[in-house]
Amino acid sequence: MNHDDRRTAGFKQRTRLSDARESLLAAATPHDRTVRRPLAEADGRALADDAVAPADVPGYDRAAMDGYAVRASDTFGASGRSPNVLRIVDGPVEPGTAARVHTGSDVPDGADAVVMVEHTERLGDELEVFDALAEGENVGERGEDVREGAPLFEAGHELRPSDIGLLRSVGVEEVTLFERPRVSVIPTGEELVESDPGPGEVIETNGLTVSRLVERWGGEASYRDIVVDDADLLREAVEADLDHDVVVTTGGSSVGERDLIPEVIDDIGEVLVHGVALKPGHPVAVGVVEDTPVVMLPGYPVACVVNAFQFLRPALKHVGSLPERPLPTQEATLTRKIPSSPGTRTFARVRLDTSGDEPTAEPTRTSGSGILSSVALADGWVVVPEEIEGYDEGDTVAVEGWEWSA
């Protein structure tokens, strides 16, 4: 294949999105690095080992109500008109006695039920009981919440705050976690500057945005300096970060004279896919260099964000053994038509309005992949599948939220 054919091959027959993502994930191997961390540092991290309860919770029979611990048999026949009378004690409960307890406190030895305080009346050292109880009534048994040896979470489970609370309740102080996947983010382009852009220059935003997404998705981002459109410098930048789990570049992924990154990756590794049937962002490419997956995101900001969600997010979750949960979705009625080309999956940015009786979705823009504000001002997108030509005004559609925080 000659130089020009290699540059344009993927654009003559664009790869279906699902197939392109499958090729990327096949090249991405989950790492096996682990680390021990205190529970307080484990939120959002993936367990590397199964978690099993080391003890019962609670570790004792506990009172489920404020009242008096008693032997249930001592309350048989008690009623509002004919109370049973028991002697109040501080220690173990013997026949004919009762001990004061509070919700959550230990039930004294000998007791097998708790009579609610409102069903009693104290008269000095004696207690009138107006309610007959069954054995175990108003008592939480030892291990009622968690039994010793019970499986809690499997390896790979992403810990949530409630999970951390449960682990703490059974006496776990530290857990073994998978290390966060390490992602190198390399912004590329002659036109990029860090500040004070002149004519023909733009402030670098893609690399910053992608690096923050990496952090929110559970990875550790190495946000690199801008690399200009020079094959040797691009090669050097990629090769320097092959110790990362994923390398992602922004810009330079199309077929123009200054779009060099796919050629660079093909020279030092292999380009698996170049040109995907999605909009915005069809110039995305994926490859592999020395077993390190490389995601080449387009330079237009909207296309960059869309493809980060579609390629980088699943790759990061895969290599980090983190679950890839579906994006939050809400049904809404379209206020305007969304056009799409058959054979292409379209991601149309929309703004939700939930103030009325039925939620509505207003397209903010269906084209213009360089308009970053159309992302910042939208609540999510509507995905138009490859099989249809779009949605009409009034159609009910599913709006996928940006899910910036997961």
Each residue's pLDDT tens digit, 256-311: 777 899 999 999 999 999 999 999 999 999 999 999 999 999 999 889 999 999 99
Separation of alpha carbons 240 and 201, rounded Å: 27
Contact 111, 69 (CB under 8 A): yes
Q: Which residues contact 149 (CB under 8 A, 6 or more apart)?
A: 52, 53
Among candidate residues 280, 274, 54, the one with its CA nearest the CA of residue 167: 54
SS (H, E, C) 56-91: CECCCCEECCCEEEECHHHHCCCCCCCCEEEEECCC
Q: What is the pLDDT of residue 230?
A: 94
Quote the pLDDT of residue 374.
59
Residue 138: its pLDDT value, please? 96
Question: Which regions of the chain are under pLDDT 50?
Answer: 1, 10, 405-406
pLDDT, position 288: 97
Strand pairing of 51-52 and 151-153?
antiparallel
Q: How far apart are CA 400 and CA 382, in angstroms?
A: 6
How far is the C-alpha of 313 from the C-alpha of 309, rounded, in Å?
5
- Mean pLDDT over each residue of the chain, to the nearest integer: 91
Q: Pick from 132, 124, 304: which is nearest to 208 by CA?
A: 304
Cα–Cα–Cα angle for 169, 174, 175, nearest 5°?
100
* Per-residue pLDDT, 96: 96
Beta bridge partners of 220: 182
Compute, in degrees rounded to 10, the torsion defined by CA atoms 254, 259, 263, 268: -120
Q: How far apart are CA 158 and CA 402, in angstroms?
A: 20
Residues 173, 162: Cα–Cα separation, whole Å: 15
b/e 288-310 (16+ beta carbons within 10 angstroms → b): bbeebbbbbbbbbbbbbbbbbbb
Chain centroid to CA 222: 21
Position 253 scores a pLDDT of 87
Distance CA 7, CA 263 (A): 7
Angstrom distances, CA of residue 20 to CA of 92, 259, 273: 70, 20, 6
| Phi-psi map region of 200: left, alpha, beta (phi>0 left; psi -120 to 50 alpha) | left
How far is residue 254 CA from its own chain's centroid? 31
pLDDT, position 406: 42
Residues in CB range of 154: below 8 A, 6 or more apart: 47, 50
pLDDT at 405: 42
Q: What is the pTM of this model?
A: 0.80
Q: Where are the alpha helices (DSSP H) in 197-332?
A: 206-216, 231-240, 261-268, 301-307, 313-319
d(CA 147, CA 276): 51
Q: What pLDDT is stored for residue 11 in this prediction?
A: 60
HSE-CB of 312 using CA atoms within 13 angstroms = 36
Query: Alpha-carbon distance 114 to 260, whole Å?
Result: 77
